Amino acid sequence: MASPAGRQTYLIASLLVIAALSPTAHSQTLPDAAAAAKQLYQNVTFEDVIKAVSKSKTHDGFYLSFGAPYPKQVLSVWAANETYRRLPGAGALVGRTVRIHGIVNPTATGPMIYLESPIEFRLLPVDDATISKPQLEGKADRHQFVVAIRQHLKRKDFDTIETLGQELHESHERFTDGTWMLDAFFGAFTLGTDRSSETFEERARTIADWKTRYPNSILPILVEARFRIDLAWKWRGTEVASKVTEEGWRHFREELAAARQILEANPQAKVSPEYFDEMQIIALGQAWNKEDYFRLFSEAVGREPDYYRFYSAAAYYLLPKWHGKKGDWERFAEEQRRKLGGAAGDALYTRIAWSQADEYRHHLFDKTAISWETMAAGFDALTHQYPESNYLKNAYAWFAWEAKDRDRLRPALEAIKAHPDMDIWVNLENVQFAEKFANAEH
C-alpha cells in the first residue's frame, strides 16, 4: 500500500523537474499590507495573505482583512458586491496570497483601499508543493490543495495528477480533520455553473488529451463523467425549477444521461468512491425513487463505509426540497448512527448533520430534529480521534454557540483562543460575541 512518504517523495521529484523546465520569474519586491497601510493617500501595490473575508452587515460588499482578521487588521480592502463576484477565487480567498493596487484611505476602522475594479486585484498561484505536504489542515489548506491540482491540470501535467490520484486511492490519506484527500482531489475537477462556455470547451479538450496519454486509466473517465454532470447543471442553472427553460431541461437530461452512460460503460471505475459519488448526483438529478437510490447507496458504503461523501449526499437527497419529507434526513442520520454504534456512530451523525448545516443558515437546531447532545458527543469523538485538527475544534465551538450551550462553549473557545479559524468564524468579532455569550455578558 502506498504511503504518504512515498507520495511526497515522488511528487517533490516531479515538482523539481517542472521548476527546472519553467522560465525563471523576476519581479520586484512589493510591500506587505502593514507597509502599505502606512502610505496614506498614496497609490500603492502590495502583496500579502488574506486573513479573513467579511460580508458587510450594512453595505452591499465585502471586506478583505490583511495582517489579522477584523477588527485587528492592519489594512482592509473593500470590494462592492459586483466587483467581489468578479474576483478570481471569490468565495474561497482566506489564506490566499494576492496582489492589490489602490489608494490607501484613512477610515474609522483603520487604513482601507477601495477596490475599484477586478483589474486591480491579482490572485497569485499557490505553491505546487502543497500537494506533497505531509499534513493539510482545515478549509484553507484543502482549497490550496485543490488549486494546486488545478494548476497542474492547466499545464496538462497528467503524469503528476495520475500519480497523485493513484496514491490517494491506495493510501486513503486524510486531512487532519479526518476527511478524505481523495474527495478534495476529485473536487479539483468540478466546474461551477458560473464558468464560461469557453472554459467548458477547454476542459473537454483537456480531458481528450488526458485520455490519449492514459488510455487505460479510470481517472479521466471519472473526470469526464463529472464534466458532463457539471455541464448538465450549467444548462439547468440555479433558478427554481419553474424558471428553467425548456431548452435548459432538455440539455440537463441529455448531459446527465451521458454521464450515467460513461459510468455504466466503465464498471472497472467502481474501485473509486468517486464513481458512486457521481452516480448519487446523477440519481438526484434524474429523481430516482428511494428504493433505487438507496440500493446505490448500499453498494457504495458496502465498498467504502468510511467515505463520508456518500452519507452527506444521501442526506441531501432526503431534503424536502429534493426527494424527502420533513424529518427524513435527520432520521437517516440517526439510523446511520445506530447502525455503526458507539463513538464512531456519534461521529458519523455529526458529519452528516454538519454537511447540511448551510441549508438552514444558523438555524440547524431550530428548524430540524438534529440533536445537539448527539452532535456534541460526535464532536467529542472526532476531536479525540483527530487531536491535531484545529478546524474540528473551531467547528465544535461554533456549533456550541449555535446551540446556545454555554457549558460546552466555554472550554471549546479556550481550546481555540490561540488559533480561531476564519473559514468558520469569518472574523474575530464573532469570536468576541461568542465569548460574551459564554460568559453570560448578554
Domain shared by 108 and 180, yes or no: no
pLDDT at 347 over 50: yes
pLDDT at 441: 58
Domain shared by 58 and 116, yes or no: yes
Q: Return the C-alpha cell found at 34.
A: 502593514
Domain shared by 140 and 178, yes or no: yes
What Rg, from alpha-carbon coordinates, does the chain have?
A: 23
**Total tally of structural domains belonging to the chain:** 2
Rounded-to-integer distance, Cα 398 and Cα 421, Å? 10
pLDDT band at 11 (very low <50, low <70, confident <90, very high): low
At 112, phi and psi to the nearest 5? -145, 140
Q: Can you give the CATH number for the domain in which 100 is found?
A: 2.40.50.140
pLDDT by residue (tens digit) across 82-114? 999 999 999 899 999 999 999 999 999 999 999
pLDDT at 28 over 80: no
Distances (CA, A) of 252 to 187, 241, 243, 289: 21, 12, 14, 19
Domain boundary among 98, 123, 148: 123
* Strand-pair partners of 46: 100
Question: What amino acid is encoded at 10 in this protein?
Answer: Y
Percentage of residues in the chain having pLDDT higher than 90 = 86
Q: Does residue 115 lie within any of the structural domains?
A: yes
Mark 192-203 as b/e (b = at least 16 C-beta within 10 Å): eeeeeeeeeeeb
pLDDT at 10: 45
Asked whether the beta carbons of 158 and 213 are under 8 A apart, the reply is yes
pLDDT by residue (tens digit) across 147-161? 999 999 999 999 999
First to last CA, the chain: 54
Domain shared by 116 and 142, yes or no: no
Q: Does residue 103 lie within any of the structural domains?
A: yes
pLDDT by residue (tens digit) across 378-422? 999 999 999 999 999 999 999 999 999 999 999 999 999 999 999
Range of the domain at 166: 1-21+134-188
Domain shared by 62 and 9, yes or no: no
Average confidence (pLDDT) over 330-349: 98
Query: Residue with C-alpha cell 472554459?
Result: 199
Domain shared by 140 and 12, yes or no: yes
Domain shared by 138 and 119, yes or no: no
pLDDT by residue (tens digit) across 190-211? 999 989 999 999 999 999 999 9
pLDDT at 241: 86
Q: ω into residue 420 within 30 of 0, thus cis?
A: no
Q: Does residue 203 lie within any of the structural domains?
A: no
Asked whether the beta carbons of 392 and 385 are under 8 A apart, the reply is no
pLDDT at 139: 86
Query: Residue with C-alpha cell 438526484?
Result: 284
The 3-state secondary structure of the chain, one letter per residue = CCCHHHHHHHHHHHHHHHHHHCCCCCCCCCCCHHHHHCCCCCEEEEEEEEEEEEECCCCCEEEEEECCCCCCCCEEEEEEHHHHHCCCCCCCCCCCEEEEEEEEECCCCCCEEECCCHHHEEECCCCHHHHHCCCCCHHHHHHHHHHHHHHHHHCCCHHHHHHHHHHHHHHCCECCCCCEHHHHHHHCCCCCCCCCHHHHHHHHHHHHHHHHHCCCCCHHHHHHHHHHHHHHHHHHCCCCHHHCCHHHHHHHHHHHHHHHHHHHCCHHHHHCHHHHHHHHHHHHHCCCCHHHHHHHHHHHHHHCCCCHHHHHHHHHHCCCCCCCCCCHHHHHHHHHHHHHCHHHHHHHHHHHHHHCHHHHCCCHHHHCCCCHHHHHHHHHHHHHHCCCCHHHHHHHHHHHHHCCCHHHHHHHHHHHCCCCCHHHHCCHHHHHHHHHHHCCCC
Domain shared by 12 and 50, yes or no: no
Rounded-to-integer distance, Cα 269 and Cα 262, Å? 10
Average confidence (pLDDT) over 361-382: 97
Domain shared by 47 and 184, yes or no: no
What does pLDDT average to over the chain? 92
Domain boundary among 73, 99, 123: 123
**Residue 171: is it exposed, middle or buried by C-beta count within 10 angstroms (0-12/13-18/19+)?**
middle
Q: Return the C-alpha cell found at 372.
A: 445537539
Q: Return the C-alpha cell found at 239.
A: 433558478
Domain shared by 57 and 94, yes or no: yes
Average confidence (pLDDT) over 338-349: 98
Domain boundary among 123, 158, 177: 123
Percentage of residues in the chain having pLDDT higher than 70 = 93
pLDDT at 79: 97
The pTM of the full predicted model, rounded to 2 decimals, is 0.89
CA angle 373-379-382, nearest 5°?
A: 145
Mark 281-301 as b/e (b = at least 16 C-beta within 10 Å): bbbbbbebeeeebbebbeebb
Domain shared by 55 and 115, yes or no: yes
Domain shared by 44 and 100, yes or no: yes
CA angle 126-127-130, nearest 5°?
A: 105
Q: Does residue 231 lie within any of the structural domains?
A: no
